[in-house]
Amino acid sequence: MKNIAVIGAGTMGNGIAHVFAQNNYKVQLIDISKESLSKGLATITKNLDRLVAKDKITEIIKQETLNNITTFTSIVDGVKNSDLVVEAATENIALKLKIFKELDEVAPKEAILASNTSSISITQIAAVTNRPEKVIGMHFMNPVPIMKLVEIIRGYSTSQEVTSIIMKLSESLGKVPVEVNDYPGFVANRILMPMLNEAIETLYNGVAGVYEIDTVMKLGMAHPMGPLQLADFIGLDVCLSILNIIYDGFKNPKYAPCPLLINMVQAGKLGIKTGEGFYDYTENRKAEKISKQFS
């Protein structure tokens, strides 16, 4: 297994492509947007330059990594020789189902199809293909080149052989794969998102401010990043989408997203990506956002 197709050149896609390419896999990075491909390659180059500057890799390894990546705007051309396809498109169920239907038609019959989804059912994705036993989840963590965990999600029909192959493949990237079963939110987000949501509820109820909530969790619970800062980093729209998927899956009120989160997303305050969320990033500072505006 040496030819890896990665669909999506955004934050997760370019990170996944980077990690595979740096570990001597041939990577076909696919995105319908040439601009996104250019930005993705620029990000990979910047991250490699940072590693060179820190003497963690050599200039030769940097060039070899970049040489291992070929870009495509066509899924058909990009996946035709792939052993593994890793889909890292937007966390949208309709889009993912559409992509996997196409992949099933154009990817080699022996190819394994993986999704980097953080919450969408692998079983549901696999059901639109004629190879459900070869469909699996590979949930990388952001930033991909740094974070060690890969959550390996086994769908209802995923074979043991495919699971073992992907576990070993993840280890070859220097990652720590953890196998989980296919239930809403898997493990990572089933635990993380309710915690972030509870932090937002705490703010919404006026118990404490943004800085105070994050400081309690950083200093008291040894979290490297406060929950509200982390929500900004992930993207409040992504947090809302995941919470809705978990809530729909379990129909349990404890997973219902906080009204403040819903209103902030509706107002376009999505976190770092828009320059403002619970913190203000527009002037390179962290200013608290007055929650009353959105309550």
Model confidence over 65-75: pLDDT tens digits? 999 999 999 99
What is the mean pLDDT for each group of 10 consecutive residues in the chain (295 residues)?
96 97 98 96 97 96 98 97 96 95 98 96 98 98 96 98 98 98 96 98 98 98 97 96 95 97 98 96 56 35
Other beta carbons within 10 Å of 109: 8
> What pLDDT is recorded for position 282?
86
Burial of 112 (0-12, 13-18, 19+ CB in 10 A): buried
> What pLDDT is recorded for position 283?
63
> What pLDDT is recorded for position 285?
52
Rounded to whole angstroms, how far apart are CA atoms 254 and 78?
42
Residue found under tokens 């495509």: 72
b/e code 213-227 from CB counts within 10 Å (16+ = b): bbebbeeeeeeeebb
Asked if the bond preceding 184 is cis, omega within 30° of 0, the reply is: no
Let me know: does 123 contact 157? Beta carbons within 8 Å: yes
Rounded to whole angstroms, how far apart are CA atoms 64 and 47?
14
Instruction: Locate 2 and state its tokens.
Output: 């040496």
Q: Is 18 a catalytic residue?
A: no
Q: Is 189 a catalytic residue?
A: yes
> What pLDDT is recorded for position 292?
36
Instruction: Locate 1 and state its tokens.
Output: 């297994």
The annotation places the binding site at 8-13, 31, 91, 96, 118, 142, 273
Rounded to whole angstroms, how far apart are CA atoms 125 and 96?
7
> Among the options 18, 47, 115, 151, which is catalytic?
151
Q: Nearest to residue 151, comparing CAs of 123, 112, 117? A: 117
Q: What are phi and psi of 121, to 5 degrees?
A: -60, 125
Rounded to whole angstroms, how far apart are CA atoms 87 and 22?
19
Q: What are phi and psi of 269, to 5 degrees?
A: -95, 90
Report the predicted TM-score, pTM, of the whole model to 2 decimal places. Answer: 0.90
> What pLDDT is recorded for position 70?
98
Q: Is 139 a catalytic residue?
A: yes
Domains observed in the chain: 3-181 (3.40.50.720), 189-290 (1.10.1040.10)
> Among the options 3, 118, 121, 170, which is catalytic?
118
**Cα 105 vs. chain centroid, distance in angstroms?**
25
Let me know: does 291 contact 204? Beta carbons within 8 Å: yes
DSSP letter (8 states) at residue 69: E
The annotation places the binding site for NAD(+) at 8-13, 31, 91, 96, 118, 142, 273
Q: Nearest to residue 246, comparing CAs of 179, 178, 195? A: 195
Rounded to whole angstroms, how far apart are CA atoms 77 and 72?
7
Q: Is 170 a catalytic residue?
A: no
> Among the options 116, 119, 139, 241, which is catalytic?
139
> Among the options 189, 197, 241, 291, which is catalytic?
189
Let me know: does 279 contact 289? Beta carbons within 8 Å: yes
Other beta carbons within 10 Å of 147: 14
Helix H or strand E encompassing 195: helix 188-204
Let me know: does 286 contact 295? Beta carbons within 8 Å: no
